[in-house]
Chains A and B, each alone.
Chain A
Amino acid sequence: MTTPTRVLEIGHEVRTAYCGYLLARLGARVTKLVTSYPTGDSPAHDRAAATFLDRGKDVIRAGQTPADDLVDDTEVVIAPGRQALLAVTGSTPADLRRHRPDLVVGIASGFGEHGGYAGLAGGEAQQLALGGLLSMVGEPGREPLRLGGPQAGHAAALALFTAVQLALYRRAGTGTGALVETSAVRAVAYLDWKSQIHHADDGTVLQRGSGSGPVVLRCVDGFVGFYYRDEEWPAVKRLVGDPRLDDERFATQRGRDRHRADLVAILEAYSRHLTRDELYHRAQALHIPAGSVLTLDELRHDPQLTARDFLRTEDGVTYPLAPWTVDGIREDS
């Protein structure tokens, strides 16, 4: 699904690298121009990130090929900031577009390049904090938690990916390129939109924590995220088969939340004798949207993912393919 066909990615930052990764999965030829890059001596997490993010890209060092030639040969340039773009290409977005009015230039900065956050020191955790998401993850009375993986960077990359596609859509009609911009802070804020609208509605301040609704249940071999809604409650009672769940205290979601500890104790009296797999499939058989808490190495042997050929292992390295198919085919080289 080659839209666009040629992309120039500047630098080595998650915000642009994951966007370039997604564009490459669509079939674009992505050239990545870097000034520094992980080597065999780099920490494992740096090497792993490069292995995942740069699969299928041509990675070249700045200076090996004149930047002007690379720009001339591309439809989209993505960079983690104006400074990085200038340092590697010697050009600003305006310079590039003056030279190539049809070019789409995408900037995904960490904190934004305008306003009071521009130039802040920090990384993922600070971007999650300023975007509001950090405050929403974890338990009340304990410190806020970051999500596993570089999710602020990924959020910016997803936003940049969609912005580039919209710019290409307009270009298809007008022939004119665009400057698209996002930041990790802005993209993260977009993810946590429910906090904003509930407060705007009636002043409700959402608090982090799992003190209401679905529960995490302990099983013989780990945990299951036991998601259920009010309408699935009758099925939950059928699944567990414990008459104590007929207690009036558990008749409503509000009651179940109020007596949550007692509820979890009853549910775990059932789940503790089951494996995750057993609870997962039994719950799903009753259309209860539960899911096993799987570790990343367990994913490699997961029947669903295996059937869909989603994870590939080559030379001892396992990596996920594109999370979509086109007409039933995973077009991921």
Chain B
Amino acid sequence: MILDRLRVLDLSGITAGGRTTQLLGDFGADVIKVESPHRPDPFRHWSGVTGETGQGDLGSPPFRVVGRNKRGITLDLKDPAGVAAFGRLVAGADLVVENFRRGVLERLGIGFATLRAWNPTVVLLSISSQGDGGPERDYVSFGGTLEALGGLMSVTGYGPDEPVWTTSKVNFPDQAVALLAPGLAVAAVLRSRRERRALHIDLSQRETVISLLGELVVEASLTGRTPRPTGNLAPGETTFCVPTAGTDEWCVISLFTDRDWERLTEVTGRGDLRTDPRFADGDARRAHVAQLVAEVAGWTRERDKSKAMAELQAAGVPAAEVLRGWELESRAAERGEPFHVPVPTSDGGTEQQLSWPFTIDGPGQPRIRRRAPHVGEHTDEVLAGTGQPTTTDTPGSTG
């Protein structure tokens, strides 16, 4: 596979780190998830999305996704024997990934200097909250915290007094970081092999969020105007969601040009709107977008969102049905572009999961090799594979 010869020790918990190493595992890396026997990854029992924790250590559906294609071991890193065992694993690893609070790694005695002593070409990828320095380096965060501190909430919402975050259901910062971090990690591994030295990459999640708003940061400094939430409007376009048939079903329409507007009025049979001064040009349409939605909704409410999109697109109007995550699978299959894969479950069945965010042609295609591990499921196998004492000899390990 593409990432053959890449061994990863995954100390991370919850989403950003777990999703990062999952992608590496999907493409062939040997990812070993290292957990405390006393405090396994809390993502195994995550109730932050539905309020339910699920049954057993694989009961959390999101954990089953981020845990796939990994082996799981337990080591008590507060015990010298556990640290020694970890050190022997580091000696044979290319990459260590962690997202502890700053300082925890050093307190455990496995800071970068120690890792480098064990393995002079290892890469440590720290996915930190606010970076490895600064007065707030020790502060704790989840995705929502970073949407606030990173400025995203200040430009997302229905209006200036209603900042909106993506909530635990999405946790946008974690997901964006987990798309960037695998590439950054691989680039670092290639560099460490080239330069024959260890590297410590510190990826700040807060700074990543700000980077994703870089255009707006620059614009604010150029114009002196502070960007504020504007609903679905964006510079140079009149974008709005209109309700379609059904409950909470929507179609999103964007008008980039006057021609888009003319086409919209044609396909909806509302040529009368072209002479309405409220919609005379782009600025007027943006200023009266609520009225525009009310006018167009008479047409869209008579159609389901899929049909509305098809008719609008056929007329050349930029439009799309607003899909929910669960609807993507059937739509993708219909258009011959599947991106879901069956993943084994612990009861012997399978479940469909999203696959990977890109394709790479040629040999070594990504695939599902194993389901997420139970706590410590592969401790003996992994320790024995490196010539180490197994659970009977390593305090705090569970096989």
Q: A290 CA to B324 CA in the complex, in Å? A: 29
Which of these binds chain A: B30-38, B70-78, B346-354, B390-398? Answer: B346-354
Asked if B3 and A129 sit within 8 Å, CB to CB, the answer is no
Instruction: Choose among B133, B148, B176 the residue that contacts A191 (Cβ–Cβ < 8 A).
Output: B176
5 new A-B contacts at CB < 8 Å, known A47-B222, A196-B325, A296-B213:
A125-B320, A201-B61, A216-B163, A291-B146, A320-B217
Q: A299 CA to B149 CA in the complex, in Å? A: 8
| A98 in the interface (beta carbon within 8 A) | no
Q: A107 CA to B272 CA in the complex, in Å? A: 42
Asked if A209 and B358 sit within 8 Å, CB to CB, the answer is no
| A243 in the interface (beta carbon within 8 A) | no
Asked if A123 and B256 sit within 8 Å, CB to CB, the answer is yes
Smallest beta-carbon distance B40→chain A, Å: 15
| B299 in the interface (beta carbon within 8 A) | no
| Count, A-B residue pairs, CB within 8 A | 491
Q: A64 CA to B316 CA in the complex, in Å? A: 34
Q: A71 CA to B224 CA in the complex, in Å? A: 40
| B359 in the interface (beta carbon within 8 A) | yes
- Dominant SS among interface residues on chain B: mixed
Beta-carbon contacts of B232-251 to A below 8 Å, as 1s and 0s? Answer: 10111101110100001010
Instruction: Choose among A124, A129, A163 the residue that contacts B322 (Cβ–Cβ < 8 A).
Output: A129
Known: A115-B336, A225-B144, A289-B145. A193 touches B325 (CB 8 A): yes
Asked if A319 and B218 sit within 8 Å, CB to CB, the answer is yes
Residue of A nearest to B325 (CB): A195
Q: Which residues of A contact B85 (CB under 8 A)?
A: none
Known: A144-B241, A170-B2, A328-B200. A189 touches B62 (CB 8 A): no
| A162 in the interface (beta carbon within 8 A) | yes
Count residues on chain B whose CB falls below 8 Å from chain A CBs: 145
Q: Which residues of B contact A77 (CB under 8 A)?
A: none
Closest 3 CB pairs of A and B: A195-B325, A148-B155, A116-B335
Q: A172 CA to B94 CA in the complex, in Å? A: 15
Residue of A nearest to B133 (CB): A308
Asked if B201 and A52 sit within 8 Å, CB to CB, the answer is no
Smallest beta-carbon distance B99→chain A, Å: 13
| B302 in the interface (beta carbon within 8 A) | no
Q: A22 CA to B235 CA in the complex, in Å? A: 24
Asked if A182 and B359 sit within 8 Å, CB to CB, the answer is yes
Q: A308 CA to B206 CA in the complex, in Å? A: 12
Asked if B200 and A126 sit within 8 Å, CB to CB, the answer is no
Q: A310 CA to B208 CA in the complex, in Å? A: 11
- Dominant SS among interface residues on chain A: mixed
| A145 in the interface (beta carbon within 8 A) | yes
Smallest beta-carbon distance B131→chain A, Å: 5
Which of these binds chain A: B134-142, B273-281, B377-385? Answer: B134-142
Smallest beta-carbon distance B85→chain A, Å: 27
Asked if A117 and B358 sit within 8 Å, CB to CB, the answer is no
| A53 in the interface (beta carbon within 8 A) | yes
Beta-carbon contacts of A206-226 to B below 8 Å, as 1s and 0s? Answer: 111110111010000001110
Q: A131 CA to B326 CA in the complex, in Å? A: 10
Smallest beta-carbon distance B316→chain A, Å: 6
| A79 in the interface (beta carbon within 8 A) | no
Residue of B nearest to A105 (CB): B361
Q: Which residues of B contact A92 (CB under 8 A)?
A: none
Q: Which residues of B contact A51 (CB under 8 A)?
A: 218, 222
Q: A199 CA to B328 CA in the complex, in Å? A: 11
Asked if A26 and B353 sit within 8 Å, CB to CB, the answer is no
Smallest beta-carbon distance B362→chain A, Å: 5
Known: A126-B252, A137-B164, A319-B218. A143 touches B240 (CB 8 A): yes
Asked if A318 and B217 sit within 8 Å, CB to CB, the answer is yes
